[in-house]
Structure 1
Amino acid sequence: MARKKLFVSFDFDNDADLKMLLVGQSKHSDTPFDIWDSSVKEHMDGDWITKVRRKISNVDVVCILCGQSTHAAAGVAEELKIAKELKKPYFLLKGYKDKACTKPTTASASDKMYDWTWENLKALIHGGR
């Protein structure tokens, strides 16, 4: 299967460690994706939104890494909103196995949060949801 370009959305203030773990996984020899871009810590104004829109428009799929405070992360909510507007496939990935993780406020009630396993991740990248 062709490698997919992935945008990783995450709560920069609370879940930067999750993003680094995903970067580590992306280095596996059988990885079906390349991390193309990710959330940044910038003030949300018109310029920020334009930059994020451009970044997301250049990827194949968006991964929303969900942690304990994702519901309060305005940037993650905006990134998911943009992904939906651009009709980019996306999935919610539960960042912590042993903690309660929350969805961004712009997630739909029907958006499932998937456990972070290597097999799930590989399937999700290629539309297995």
Structure 2
Amino acid sequence: MANPRAFISFDYDNNVTQKNLFVGQSKSSKTPFSIEDWSSKSSLPQSQWEALIRSKIGKCNMLIVLSGKTMASATGVSKEIAMAKDQDVPVFGVYVDGANTTSILPSGLQRNRTISWDWKKIAAAIDQMMTEGKNK
């Protein structure tokens, strides 16, 4: 099987730097997955954005949420999590930007499925995602 595909969900207003670092590090890690940069490249009407993102999430094996300190205000992230769950796409989170187990998580992201930014833990989570949801 080819490397699993991951859709990266993040707070665009506050965590673009962490997303870029995560994507960059993933390319040189031994973690077996590929990240597609399927972010919307332009501002779209809400219904078009939702249709586009829903389609892109549906083409992935998992959704990885980069969960920063300001996730309570990231409504798009909560929508992406809901879209993934509607399509049986497994979801897990990675703490970024100083967030930790006391930080507010976006709606729909479980605390016990959110881990520190550690590539061994991320690889283990990816392996687990490949046994869940639509990947069974």
TM over 0.5: yes
1:24 counterpart = 2:41? no
User: 1:42-53 counterparts in 2 under 5 A?
Assistant: 42-43=43-44, 45-53=46-54
* Structure 1 runs of 4+ with >6 Å offset: none
CA contact (8 A) 2:9 2:77 kept: yes
The residue number in structure 2 matching 1:79 is 80
| Aligned-CA RMSD value | 2.4
Which has the higher mean CA deviation after the structures are superposed, 14-23 or 119-128?
Answer: 119-128
- 3-state SS in 1 of match to 2:63: strand
Task: Report which stretch shifted further, 31-40 or 18-27.
Answer: 31-40
Counterpart AA for 1:113: T
CA distance in 2, matches of 1:74, 1:121: 24
Q: Which residue of 1 aligns with 2:115?
A: 114
Equivalent AA in structure 2 for residue 102 of structure 1 = I
Written as runs of structure 1 = structure 2, the 5 A alignment for 1:54-65 is 54-65=55-66
Structure with more of its chain in strand, by fraction: 1
TM-score by length of 2: 0.81
Q: Which runs of 5+ in 2 are unaligned?
A: none
Distance 1:44 1:73 in 2: 17
Q: What's the CA shift string for 1:43-89, capped at 9, x where partnerless?
A: 56111100000000101111000001112101101000000101101
Distance across 2 between alignment mates of 1:120 and 1:74? 27
Stretches of structure 1 that go unaligned for 5 or more consecutive residues are none
Do 1:9 and 1:63's aligned partners in 2 also have CA atoms closer than 8 Å?
yes
Relative to the length of structure 1, the TM-score reads: 0.85
Change (3 A) 1:120 1:42: farther
Q: How many residues end up aligned between the 2 structures? A: 128
Q: Higher helix proportion, which one?
A: 2
- Verify the 8 A CA contact 2:8 2:66 in the aligned structure 1: yes
**Are 1:52 and 1:79, in contact at CA under 8 Å, matched by a contact in 2?**
yes
In 1, Cα distance between equivalents of 2:78 and 2:45: 11
Query: Residue 69 of structure 1 corresponds to which residue in structure 2?
Result: 70
Identity rate, percent? 32
In structure 1, the partner of 2:105 is 103
Please tell me whether the aligned partners of residues 37 and 55 of structure 1 are also in contact (alpha carbons under 8 angstroms).
no
